[in-house]
């Protein structure tokens, strides 16, 4: 194990190498011109993000950010990706194979810096923020490294284990903003607009009014103290699009932990459950969740459990991302299959 101060010096030298090489050019040799449209600045709710040149070594710290970058055609300009809840979207699998997987969960700062990135992106303050891989200020001030945090995190307050309350309600417009801002930072505006248009079309086609008083609860993970969706995150978009009622709509935290007695008392008509492949919490997979629900003395008496009214979603579909549209489509199909639509 290297001493901490030596590791820091090695990292600093690694990051400085490209800049020192540039400074070593002869006086008559002109510096390489910036790509068209650069430098450019994108204004975000977390502050301005400025890139002097087109990024060529992007590191993404979350699956949601990674899937947007891949959808913009940026696989060849990505130096690494990390923090996964699920397999990659099948349509992006071939492009994803070109990108180094740095870590199944949050990578170390040393791992990120070793990729010599010129842009770091993230979906959550839990990875790009206090207690995460690093803060944006730290990356900028200590390493001169620009970073982008999802617009879906705007107005969100982290608080303990609840994933934070929101000052407002997350909308698809926030996810579209994230796509457009990443497209602007990478010079792929045309691809960004095409992606937004396709997602908007799919939302319009999937949306329906179930025509009945259908209630639902969204369970992400953890069997001892389950994370259930509150009002205002990704599941809120699903509920509003489909005209169903989240039984915990009065909870402003994105994923509050609610005991099973309270859940059973709410007795939702349908349970939307996360089918995660990561190994971070208890009851990650849908199968593990259903086994728990059907064997627990309290939850086994719930209407949705007795009648097998489950709709499976990937974890990435429950998080705010371009997969929120997949969630709307899958929940709509699930409601029809369960006979809960008119």
* Helix 189-206 / helix 324-337 crossing angle, nearest 10 deg: 20
| Residue/partner pairs of 143-146 with CB below 8 Å, 24 or more apart | 143/15, 143/113, 144/15, 145/15, 145/113, 145/117, 145/118, 145/119, 145/120, 146/49, 146/50, 146/51, 146/118, 146/119, 146/120
Condensed to tens digits (0 to 9), the pLDDT of residues 187-232 reads 999 999 999 999 999 999 998 777 778 999 999 999 999 999 999 9
Average pLDDT over the chain, rounded to an integer: 89
Cα–Cα distances (Å) from 155 to 14, 46, 167, 191, 249, in that order, read 36, 10, 5, 27, 18
Residue with tokens 């071939």: 94
* Helix 63-71 / helix 172-186 crossing angle, nearest 10 deg: 60
Cut 0.75: pTM above it: yes
Residue 68 CB coordination number (10 Å): 27
The number of helix segments (H) and strand segments (E) in the chain equals 13, 13
Condensed to tens digits (0 to 9), the pLDDT of residues 106-116 reads 999 999 999 99
Asked if the domains at 40-200 and 208-337 fall in one CATH topology, the answer is: yes
Q: What does DSSP assign to residue 134?
A: B
Name which of 157, 87, 128 is nearest 316 in CA terms.
87
pLDDT of residue 28: 45
**In angstroms, rounded to a whole number, what is the distance separating the alpha carbons of residues 245 and 229?**
12
Cα–Cα distances (Å) from 107 to 25, 201, 304, in that order, read 35, 35, 38
* Domain covering 208-337 assigned CATH 3.20.20.10 in the classification: no
Tell the CATH topology of 40-200. Answer: Rossmann fold (3.40.50)
Which burial class, exposed, middle or buried, applies to 133 when counting CB atoms under 10 A from its CB (0-12, 13-18, 19+)?
A: buried
**In angstroms, rounded to a whole number, what is the distance separating the alpha carbons of residues 158 and 130?**
10
pLDDT of residue 32: 61
**In angstroms, rounded to a whole number, what is the distance separating the alpha carbons of residues 127 and 132?**
4
Name which of 151, 169, 101 is nearest 322 in CA terms.
151
DSSP 2-39: --HHHHHHHHHHHHHHHHHHHHTS-TTSPPPPPPTT-S
**In angstroms, rounded to a whole number, what is the distance separating the alpha carbons of residues 333 and 161?**
32
CA angle 276, 215, 246 (to 5 degrees): 65
**In angstroms, rounded to a whole number, what is the distance separating the alpha carbons of residues 33 and 66?**
28
Residue with tokens 């005209």: 243
**Which stretches in the chain have pLDDT values below 70?**
1-33, 158-163
State how beta strands 310-313 and 270-274 pair: parallel
Where along the chain do its domains lie?
40-200, 208-337
| Contact in structure between 109 and 76 (CB atoms under 8 Å) | no
């Amino acid at each position: 194990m290297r001493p901490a101060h030596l590791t820091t010096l090695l990292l600093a030298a690694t990051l400085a190498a490209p800049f020192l090489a540039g400074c070593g050019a002869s006086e008559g040799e002109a510096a390489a011109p910036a790509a068209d449209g650069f430098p450019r600045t994108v204004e975000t709710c977390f502050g301005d993000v400025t890139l002097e040149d087109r990024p060529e070594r992007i590191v993404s710290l979350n699956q949601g950010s990674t899937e947007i970058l891949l959808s913009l055609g940026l696989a060849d300009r990505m130096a690494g990706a990390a923090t996964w809840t699920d397999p990659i979207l099948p349509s992006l699998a071939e492009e994803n194979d070109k990108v180094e997987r740095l870590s199944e969960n949050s990578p170390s700062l040393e791992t990120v810096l070793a990729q010599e990135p010129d842009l770091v992106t993230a979906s959550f303050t839990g990875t790009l923020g206090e207690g995460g891989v690093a803060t944006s200020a730290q990356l900028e001030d200590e390493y001169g490294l620009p970073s982008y945090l999802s617009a879906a995190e705007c107005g969100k307050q982290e608080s303990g284990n609840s994933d934070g309350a929101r000052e407002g309600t997350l909308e698809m417009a926030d996810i579209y903003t994230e796509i457009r801002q990443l497209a602007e930072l990478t010079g792929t505006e045309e691809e960004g607009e095409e992606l937004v248009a396709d997602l908007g079309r799919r939302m319009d086609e999937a949306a329906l009014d179930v025509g009945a008083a259908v209630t639902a609860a969204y369970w992400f993970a953890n069997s001892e103290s389950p994370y259930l969706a509150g009002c205002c995150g990704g599941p809120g978009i699903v509920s509003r699009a489909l005209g169903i009622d989240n039984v915990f709509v009065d909870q402003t935290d994105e994923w509050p932990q609610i005991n099973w007695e309270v859940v059973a008392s709410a007795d939702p008509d349908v349970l939307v459950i996360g089918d995660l492949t990561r190994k971070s919490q208890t009851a990650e997979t849908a199968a593990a969740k259903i086994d728990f629900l059907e064997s627990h003395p309290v939850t086994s008496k719930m209407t949705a459990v007795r009648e097998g009214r489950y709709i499976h979603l990937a974890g990435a579909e429950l998080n705010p991302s371009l997969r929120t549209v997949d969630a709307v489509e899958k929940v709509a199909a699930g409601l029809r299959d369960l006979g809960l639509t008119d």
